[in-house]
């Protein structure tokens, strides 16, 4: 396993809010620091208090005690709310303009193209520029893109090619924004709180998946699509405002003047020679390719297997989102406890849930199984990302996370063959094959990767 070294940026971690009360803190002797690099306060006239073990809700939301992470997290909530609303309104608007499932698929897939082609450059930028600035530029660009579609819709000149172009542009923005954001998190909370922070991130994303599409879809006919796009732009601007309150440590500033291609090459070399990082990245890619196609093939099950309508599909997505939310909060509460086994367990649970969906052609059964699928998805995605960031040295985090983000660009490679198989053999058989492959892959990793299995 590649050793996780504590770099200089970890020493620059911001204190918790209680540390701001300088008048109550004695500076007569240098206080000790904990494993995360955070200096506990020493109060005048007293010995440093012993911190009680945090349990329950305090442990679950532990990372939100850090002011800088709290503002970064809140900015992400606004941005993901905007993106979830945009997915709904863009799909509706595209289909209204074209009445073509093919063009609808093209517009939706446009987001993935730059995620595959530009993510490595986004990672290199994250390791050379101030990460907060990159994040804010991305959030601001998202607001401009939403505003552009809102204006073109309001003036009645919108065309499906506009939506396709903005979808590609949004993917390009995220190719730079997300590696910088994810690489900044460990600098704000420390490695000891990283799993908790990533779990809270996943929980917030699950919550926006539950709420934002309902808001966007409900407002579509009330304030019209242009109104929803203007609301999306406002959410993006609020994200910029929240991020502006984040005080970044010195380790988030530029640290490389080498040619960008050299940075990309060194990042890839780092991944190849860091065995645990490579195993985790392959694990994330393989499980995404095998588990994610069901989300895109869900209409096949709802219409052809369950004989239901769009409302039934919406309920399934909501239940799965609830499962993901519960799973993310559960992981946030656990902290560092057999995370390797939990990661593999989440992958196995996803495979078993998909196999049950393939075997039982009943809507009520599917609704119950969605909880298990959401739990499994939250486990494998949240832990996979947190463990990767813990293993990686700060100077490489942006580039390594850009490789992780390429999963989203590679996802169509899993959806396309699954769609072809479903077209020829039916949705149940296709998902059954993917489920079997996911279960076999997870068991193979369990047997062959002892370091991952025993990772704490």
pLDDT single digits (tens) 24-76: 333 334 443 433 343 333 333 333 334 444 555 666 777 888 888 899 999 99
Token pair listed for 320: 């799965």
373/345 Cα distance (integer angstroms): 12
8 Å CB contact between 332 and 342: no
For 1, 38, 160, 180, 185, the CA distances from 396, given in Å and listed in that order, are 16, 22, 39, 11, 14
As a whole number, mean pLDDT of residues 204-214 equals 79
The DSSP-derived string for 86-105 is HHHHHHHHHHHHH--HHHHH
* pLDDT, mean over the chain: 78
Buried b (16+ CB within 10 A) or exposed e, 135-170: bbbbbbbbbebbbbbbebbeeeebebebbbbbbbbb
13/398 Cα distance (integer angstroms): 18
Token pair listed for 227: 């109104």
CA 40, 37, 32 angle in degrees (round to 5)? 45
Give percent of the chain with pLDDT exceeding 90.
23
Q: Which residues pair with 25 in a beta bridge?
A: 43
Q: Please indicate, yes or no, whether the overall pTM of this predicted structure exceeds 0.75.
A: no
pLDDT single digits (tens) 371-424: 999 888 887 877 887 788 777 777 777 778 787 877 777 776 677 788 778 878
Q: What domains, with CATH codes, occur in the chain?
A: 63-243 (1.20.1250.20), 257-456 (1.20.1250.20)
91/106 Cα distance (integer angstroms): 11
């Amino acid at each position: 396993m590649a050793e996780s070294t504590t770099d200089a940026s970890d020493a620059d971690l911001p204190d918790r809010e209680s540390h701001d009360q300088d008048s109550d803190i004695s500076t007569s002797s240098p206080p000790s620091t904990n494993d995360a690099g955070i200096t506990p306060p020493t109060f005048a006239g007293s010995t440093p208090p012993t911190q009680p073990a945090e349990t329950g809700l305090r442990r679950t939301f532990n990372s939100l005690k850090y002011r800088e992470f709290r503002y970064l997290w809140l900015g992400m909530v606004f941005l993901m709310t905007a993106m979830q609303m945009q997915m709904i309104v863009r799909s509706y608007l595209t289909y209204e303009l074209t009445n073509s499932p093919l063009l609808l698929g093209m517009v939706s897939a446009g987001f993935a193209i730059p995620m595959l082609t530009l993510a490595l450059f986004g990672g290199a930028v994250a390791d050379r520029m101030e990460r907060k600035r990159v994040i804010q530029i991305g959030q601001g660009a998202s607001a401009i893109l939403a505003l552009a579609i809102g204006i073109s819709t309001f003036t009645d000149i919108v065309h499906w090619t506009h939506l396709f172009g903005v979808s590609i542009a949004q993917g390009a923005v995220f190719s730079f924004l997300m590696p910088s954001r994810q690489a900044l998190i460990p600098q704000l909370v420390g490695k000891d709180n990283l799993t908790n922070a990533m779990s809270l991130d996943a929980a917030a994303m699950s919550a926006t998946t539950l709420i934002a599409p309902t808001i966007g879809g409900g407002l579509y006919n009330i304030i019209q699509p242009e109104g929803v796009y203007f609301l999306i732009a406002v959410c993006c601007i609020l994200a910029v405002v929240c991020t502006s309150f984040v005080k970044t440590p010195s380790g988030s500033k530029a640290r490389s003047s080498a040619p960008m291609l050299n940075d990309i090459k060194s990042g890839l070399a780092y991944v190849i020679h860091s065995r645990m990082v490579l195993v985790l990245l392959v694990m994330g890619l393989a499980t995404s390719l095998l588990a994610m196609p069901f989300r895109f093939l869900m209409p096949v099950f709802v219409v052809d297997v369950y004989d239901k309508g769009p409302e039934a599909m919406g309920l399934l997505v909501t239940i799965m989102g609830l499962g993901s939310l519960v799973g993310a909060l559960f992981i946030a509460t656990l902290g560092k406890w057999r995370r390797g086994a939990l990661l593999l367990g989440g992958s196995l649970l996803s495979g078993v849930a998909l196999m049950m969906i393939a075997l039982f052609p009943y809507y009520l059964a599917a609704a119950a199984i969605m909880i298990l699928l959401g739990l499994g998805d939250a486990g494998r995605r949240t832990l996979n990302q947190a463990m990767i960031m813990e293993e990686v040295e700060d100077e490489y985090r942006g580039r390594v996370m850009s490789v992780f983000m390429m999963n989203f660009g590679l996802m169509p490679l899993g959806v396309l063959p699954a769609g072809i198989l479903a077209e020829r053999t039916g949705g149940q058989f296709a998902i059954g094959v993917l489920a079997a492959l996911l279960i076999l892959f997870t068991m193979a990793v369990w047997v062959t990767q002892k370091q991952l299995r025993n990772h704490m």
